[in-house]
Amino acid sequence: MIVIMNPNASARQISDVIARIRAMGYEVHISEGEQQTIIGVIGRGRPLDREQLSTMDGVHDVLAVTHPYKIASRMYHPENTQIPLGAMTVGSKELAIIAGPCSVEGREQIIEIAHAVREAGATALRGGAFKPRTSPYSFQGMGEEGLRYLAEAREQTGLPIVTEVMDPNLVPMVCEYADVLQIGARNMQNYTLLNAVGQSQHTVLLKRGMSSTIEELLMAAEYILSHGNMRVMVCERGIRTYETETRNTFDINAIPAIKSLSHLPVIADPSHGTGKWEYVESVSMAAIAAGADGLILEVHQTPETASSDGRQSLKPERFARLVSRIRKLGEVVDRVVPQPLPEMTRP
């Protein structure tokens, strides 16, 4: 249920409504828009009398939320959520371009690629210090050492860091290094982890599970939002179907669908969505045209020697060409890629 206040409702009227809701055993989440305040009613308390609430001073309307996710619903928060990320704002007209290797493989590797993607127009650097792999014998990441290298790359380039966290116990440590905590597809419904990143109040990039519905993705986001952490971006990264030509089937439909249902920014991952670098450019363009708020792309200097996901990684020159094309597409869809960060000197 949501309570929509009148545009001219006073602070006292809003606080009276909140007090009435809490007295019935519910929690509230406040969404303050430019025109009016919306109060989300969360939890399982005593039955609420909609008619009684609707007659309180300052109340415009009381509506039932039909979706199982409440805080993630656009009904609760009609305006797009905007999240600061470095020098830009995700969810605004600006497009986030998050780029870097699948895995941090060494200090020189991550610093070199960080400079390359920054010069090409990336707005954030991605890189995995902890890697969930299907095989226990595959490269599992460098752990905290990799996080230190990412932090050094940020110092040199100014690019904020996006990296995956896999264990609730590691959330505090990863928060010390990263600007954005990524929840991978395999952990989308790891509710202990979702609660931990929600409590951290850190910005989160939540990837859609490989066999998950849009509703399940938004319900996973709800876990994070329920802790008052509103800095959540959701990521469409392709789903598993019967098709074998590509690694996954990139669900382009999901982008406008999520944007219609939810106020959260949507990031597209064409690298995992296709699994082949030669398809990444086309799907990236399609995702932006469909309304995505940004891209997360795998870029590697020598994909043929990458420790993981080399097949889907763009080389820096191909990434630079893609950013150039996205800038031109932005003129058509009324979006813009922020200009590259100021030049920095390598130590």
Comparing 26-30, 112-116, 210-214, which segment has the lowest mean pLDDT?
26-30
Residue 31 shares a structural domain with residue 138: no
Residue 31 shares a structural domain with residue 172: no
pLDDT value, residue 1: 85
Residue 170 scores a pLDDT above 80: yes
Mean of pLDDT over the chain? 93
- For 317-321, the CB contacts below 8 A with 24+ separation are 318/277, 318/281, 319/99, 319/116, 319/117, 319/120, 319/122, 320/119, 320/120, 320/121, 321/281
- Residue 34 backbone dihedrals phi, psi, to 5 degrees: -70, -30
In the structure, what pLDDT confidence band is assigned to residue 31 with cuts at 50, 70 and 90? confident
> Looking at the domain assignment, is residue 44 inside a domain?
yes
Q: How far is CA 332 from the centre of its chain?
A: 24
- Average confidence (pLDDT) over 27-46: 83
pLDDT value, residue 345: 52
Q: Where does 24-106 have alpha helices with state H?
A: 50-54
Residues present in the chain in total: 347
In the structure, what pLDDT confidence band is assigned to residue 344 with cuts at 50, 70 and 90? low
Q: Give the CATH number, domain containing residue 244.
A: 3.20.20.70
- Residue span of the structural domain in which 56 resides: 2-63
- Average confidence (pLDDT) over 42-68: 84
pLDDT value, residue 36: 84
Residue 328 scores a pLDDT above 80: yes
Residue 342 scores a pLDDT above 80: no
pLDDT value, residue 44: 75
pLDDT in tens, 172-191: 999 999 999 999 999 999 99
Domain count, the chain: 2
3-state secondary structure at position 40:
strand
pLDDT value, residue 24: 87
> Looking at the domain assignment, is residue 73 inside a domain?
no
Structural domain ending residue among the three candidates 63, 91, 113 = 63
Residue 53 shares a structural domain with residue 97: no
Rounded Cα distance between 229 and 212, Å, is: 22
> Looking at the domain assignment, is residue 339 inside a domain?
no
- Residue 195 backbone dihedrals phi, psi, to 5 degrees: -65, -40
Residue 276 shares a structural domain with residue 156: yes
- Average confidence (pLDDT) over 294-321: 95
Residue 269 shares a structural domain with residue 171: yes
Residue 245 scores a pLDDT above 80: yes
pLDDT value, residue 35: 79
- Average confidence (pLDDT) over 141-150: 92
pLDDT value, residue 271: 97
pLDDT value, residue 141: 76
In the structure, what pLDDT confidence band is assigned to residue 64 with cuts at 50, 70 and 90? confident
> Looking at the domain assignment, is residue 347 inside a domain?
no
In the structure, what pLDDT confidence band is assigned to residue 40 with cuts at 50, 70 and 90? confident
Residue 66 scores a pLDDT above 70: yes
